[in-house]
């Protein structure tokens, strides 16, 4: 069952009602801007102030385990959603007692633990990268023996943007690797040689209707997304398969809102052309181009879904390229602002720490018909 | 001279700095959303709370003649702009003593008085609808004798959306008409038979650079804009003339920001194909389609100009139609939200009074090449 998504399915929340968002980062900021467009108000709740605070009707700085503060937040809003997948499940469950939480806590539970995530997806008959559960050194030694081409040790919980991951080759010091991740429960994932990475941005409404944006191709550097481009150049049959996989995952989670499914494209000759890498139960960096290239962005469609509105069309009118501004990249803003065709987004973060997402830009181009 | 636009011309205001906006309506709201995209903060100042308050980093409810409150506002921001043309000039001048006001108070002075506006534009050699200054009944009687086809009596000040206007035909009770406008200073404008109305949305940077959006065709009902469409279907030479006229007005006012120039298109056979109806020293309802159809909207370009940034490209990637939701029109929001291709904007106003702009929608279409 999916708590929170089974509330009053009948009527969309009318303009003027208030959406609660857990998390105050740039995704919360872009969600708040999209909600504003629809006449909906936003109340941000976060344990630290951030870029979303500047554009919200109301913002609360509070701990995710501060029951009284959470209860007051829940009373002030008509529905709660979140902008990051590491919201404590207990927080979501507490809020769900007073008002709908969408996506429901079940999606958080699956997405927060790589082992549960992979087991769940595998259980749907959807291929994932081969993996082993790692409880300690004995598991890791046994698992590495199966991975002569090398593998990646990933903590089961709290990893993002390449954090909590260690690449291992045969002969590596496995005890040291486990020490580096603090002996945390982990998985070992086979290192794959894929053609490129893509993501499916699927949004599912309260009534189960789905809309799928065109699939972007994603390039990473240092574990962080650098660039997304649409179209990805996937063969049509592979694209259809990607859509089908994402649809099955969203339905299995009785998901409400935008879900990102990251996939490895193994190339046209591979027996399994697509493997799921991971899912993110939220709006996703690889969908930022939808702000300019679509009439209804991923942010607006997430808000529509959680507010029980009909979904907007995910059709795009342009090809698009999105590039992240990471750390000191943002210092280029005057040149980017002066470059014709660059649509610049800055998140208003004060400090440009290394690896921090400070903004992005999108460039549109006419659709190259026939390319897909 | 243009006060306020002659400040520090060198450096653009960096992300994180604060833009002050006078007025809290939907235009202020859309300006605030555009500023947020660029990492700029917004402080709204208005004598009544409104839709812009919900999305601003800070909002002050204060009278436009409350000196202490205005001074505190001016201290809190790096530049001031406005979303409506009836900002008292004294307010703008007071603020301009502490920080740049863009567009400068000179633009307000011209736009607030129909007689000064028409005289200024006429003085640039740019055609306007024939008009007479009306100080009282004798003026009006004399003027009506020159207008056998009928004319429109308009108060010099504080008219918008058809308010403060009375259509007069020969034989009308002129004393009653003057009584109806409270004996206010007025102009009498010849009733013209034009082909259709268009507007030029021109943005001028701090450095004098200009960018011009494609010209929309505008349809009014009851004095209120109902629909704007691009392309307008103007012949190329007429379009070039419209651009030239707007450029000369913006330069004459040493304008900074977005200026809307409303024009009557008299048809291909007319000796003067275009006459200026009026100007609005602010972002304009007839430019709302730029949010979806352009990489950089009129709102973002206004913010860029007042913050001293380089202007963004006004190029559009799509044809567009924008329709206002006026008064109870907004009750259709569930059907509009469910219509594929409709990009819906709701302003979050509580009460749908008759004639009140509650939202709008835009629909994009591929560019019909060769049509212009």
pLDDT tens by residue, B155-183: 998 766 666 789 999 999 999 999 999 99
Is A37's CB within 8 Å of B312's CB? Answer: no
Mapped onto helix, strand or coil, the DSSP state of residue B113 is: coil
DSSP designation for A310:
P
Query: Cα A307–A312–A313 angle (5° rounding)?
Result: 160
CB atoms within 10 A of CB A265: 22
Which segments of A75-158 are extended strands (E)?
Answer: 79-82, 131-134, 151-155
The upper half-sphere exposure of residue A258, i.e. CA atoms within 13 Å in the direction of its Cβ, equals 32
Distance (Å) from the alpha carbon of A326 to chain B's nearest alpha carbon: 15
**pLDDT of A280 strictly over 80:** yes
Distance (Å) from the alpha carbon of B320 to chain A's nearest alpha carbon: 11
Write down the pLDDT at residue B158: 79
Residues of A in contact with B346 (CB under 8 A): 15, 37-39
The rounded distance, in Å, linking the Cα atoms of A305 and A79 is 11
The rounded distance, in Å, linking the Cα atoms of B341 and B364 is 7
Is A346's CB within 8 Å of B55's CB? Answer: no
Q: Annotate B241-268 with DSSP letters as a single string.
A: HHHHHHHHHHHHTT--EEEEEEEEE--T
Write down the pLDDT at residue A223: 86
**pLDDT of A2 strictly over 70:** no
The rounded distance, in Å, linking the Cα atoms of B333 and B352 is 12
Write down the pLDDT at residue B161: 62
Q: Could you tell me the pLDDT band of residue A7, with boundaries at 50, 70 and 90?
A: very low
Q: Which residues are paired to A155 by β-bridges?
A: A186
Q: Is the ipTM of this complex over 0.95?
A: no
Query: Cα B165–B157–B281 angle (5° rounding)?
Result: 105
Least confident range of A20-29, A324-333, A362-371, B126-135: A362-371
Give percent above pLDDT 90 in chain A.
Answer: 90
What is chain B's mean pLDDT, rounded?
A: 93
Is B348's CB within 8 Å of A295's CB? Answer: no
Contact B40, B307 (CB under 8 A): yes
Write down the pLDDT at residue B164: 78
- B85-94: per-residue pLDDT in tens? 999 999 999 9
Work out whether strand B217-221 and strand B224-230 pair parallel, antiparallel, or are unpaired: antiparallel
The rounded distance, in Å, linking the Cα atoms of A225 and A217 is 11
Is A295's CB within 8 Å of B33's CB? Answer: no
Is B55's CB within 8 Å of A39's CB? Answer: no
Write down the pLDDT at residue B212: 98
**pLDDT of B206 strictly over 60:** yes
Write down the pLDDT at residue A158: 79
Residues of A in contact with B341 (CB under 8 A): 295, 313, 315
State the best of B288, B337, B339 to mutate against chain A, taking most chain A CBs within 10 Å: B337
Contact A212, A225 (CB under 8 A): no
Is A364's CB within 8 Å of B334's CB? Answer: no
Query: Cα A95–A98–A99 angle (5° rounding)?
Result: 80
**What are the φ/ψ torsions at residue B345 (nearest 5 degrees)?**
-130, 125
Is A346's CB within 8 Å of B295's CB? Answer: no
Write down the pLDDT at residue A160: 60
Element (H, E) at B280: strand B274-280
**pLDDT of A194 strictly over 90:** yes
Write down the pLDDT at residue B162: 62
**pLDDT of B370 strictly over 80:** no
User: Radius of gyration of chain B from Cα atoms?
Assistant: 20
**B59: nearest CA partner in chain A:** A57
Q: Could you tell me the pLDDT band of residue A369, with boundaries at 50, 70 and 90?
A: low
Which residues are CB-neighbours of A335 under 8 A, at least 6 positions away? none
**pLDDT of B7 strictly over 60:** no
- A324-343: per-residue pLDDT in tens? 999 999 999 999 999 999 99
Q: Tell me the average pLDDT across A211-221.
A: 97
* Least CB–CB distance from B54: residue in A14, A36, A337: A36
- B51-80: per-residue pLDDT in tens? 999 999 999 999 999 999 999 999 999 999
State the best of B14, B317, B319 to mutate against chain A, taking most chain A CBs within 10 Å: B317
Contact B172, B191 (CB under 8 A): no
What is chain A's mean pLDDT, rounded?
A: 93
**pLDDT of B10 strictly over 80:** no
Tokens of A340: 């014709």
**B33: nearest CA partner in chain A:** A33
Mapped onto helix, strand or coil, the DSSP state of residue B372 is: coil
Q: Which residues are paired to B46 by β-bridges?
A: B61
Residues of A in contact with B312 (CB under 8 A): 337, 340, 343
Quote the pTM value. Answer: 0.94
The rounded distance, in Å, linking the Cα atoms of B27 and A101 is 32
Contact B281, B250 (CB under 8 A): no
Is A364's CB within 8 Å of B295's CB? Answer: yes
CB atoms within 10 A of CB B93: 16
- The dihedral built from the CA positions of residue B352, B354, B360 and B361, taken in this order, carries a sign that is positive
The rounded distance, in Å, linking the Cα atoms of B203 and B210 is 6
CB atoms within 10 A of CB A35: 30
Burial class for B67, CB neighbours closer than 10 Å (0-12, 13-18, 19+): exposed
- A43-94: per-residue pLDDT in tens? 999 999 999 999 999 999 999 999 999 999 999 999 999 999 999 999 999 9
Tokens of A282: 């939220």
Write down the pLDDT at residue B2: 38
Tokens of A293: 């290239």
* Least CB–CB distance from B343: residue in A32, A296, A346: A296
* Least CB–CB distance from A347: residue in B39, B338, B340: B39
- Give the C-alpha distances (Å, rounded to integers) separating B112 from B14, B48, B304: 32, 21, 24
Contact B131, B168 (CB under 8 A): no
* Least CB–CB distance from A33: residue in B33, B318, B366: B33
**pLDDT of A164 strictly over 90:** no
**What are the φ/ψ torsions at residue A139 (nearest 5 degrees)?**
-60, -45
Burial class for B269, CB neighbours closer than 10 Å (0-12, 13-18, 19+): exposed
Size of interface A-B (CB pairs under 8 A): 118
Write down the pLDDT at residue B223: 86
CB atoms within 10 A of CB B49: 13
The angle, 0 to 180 degrees and rounded to 10, between the axes of the packed helices A89-96 and A67-76 is: 50
């Amino acid at each position: 069952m999916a708590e929170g998504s089974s509330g009053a399915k009948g009527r969309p929340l009318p303009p003027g009602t208030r959406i609660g968002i857990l998390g105050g980062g740039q995704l919360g900021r872009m969600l708040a801007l999209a909600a504003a467009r629809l006449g909906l108000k936003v109340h941000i709740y976060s344990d630290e102030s951030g870029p979303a605070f500047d554009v919200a009707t109301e913002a609360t700085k509070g701990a995710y385990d501060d029951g009284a503060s959470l209860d007051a937040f829940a009373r002030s809003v008509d529905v709660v959603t979140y902008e990051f997948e590491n919201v404590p499940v207990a927080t979501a469950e507490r809020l769900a007692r007073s008002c709908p939480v969408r996506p429901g806590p079940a999606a958080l539970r699956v997405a927060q633990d790589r082992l549960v995530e992979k087991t769940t997806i595998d259980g749907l008959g959807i291929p994932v990268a081969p993996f082993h559960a790692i409880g300690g050194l004995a598991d890791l030694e046994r698992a590495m023996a199966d991975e002569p081409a090398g593998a990646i040790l990933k903590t089961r919980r709290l990893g993002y943007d390449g954090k909590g991951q260690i690449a291992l080759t045969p002969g590596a010091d496995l005890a040291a690797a486990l020490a580096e991740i603090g002996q945390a429960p982990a998985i070992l994932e086979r290192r794959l040689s894929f053609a490129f990475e893509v993501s499916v941005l699927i949004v599912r409404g309260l009534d189960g209707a789905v809309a799928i944006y065109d699939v972007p191709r994603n390039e990473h550097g240092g574990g962080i997304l650098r660039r997304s481009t649409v179209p990805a150049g996937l063969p049509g049959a592979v694209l259809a398969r990607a859509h089908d996989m994402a649809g099955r995952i969203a339905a299995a989670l009785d998901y409400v809102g935008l879900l990102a499914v990251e996939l490895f494209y193994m190339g046209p000759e591979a027996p399994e052309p697509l493997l799921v890498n991971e899912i993110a139960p939220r709006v996703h960096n690889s969908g930022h181009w939808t702000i300019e290239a679509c009439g209804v962005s991923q942010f607006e469609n997430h808000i529509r879904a959680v507010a029980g509105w009909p979904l907007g069309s995910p059709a795009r009118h342009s090809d698009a390229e999105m590039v992240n501004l990471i750390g000191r990249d943002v210092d280029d803003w005057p040149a980017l602002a002066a470059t014709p065709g660059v649509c610049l987004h800055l998140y208003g973060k004060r400090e440009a720490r290394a690896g921090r997402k400070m903004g992005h830009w999108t460039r549109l181009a006419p659709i190259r018909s026939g390319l897909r």
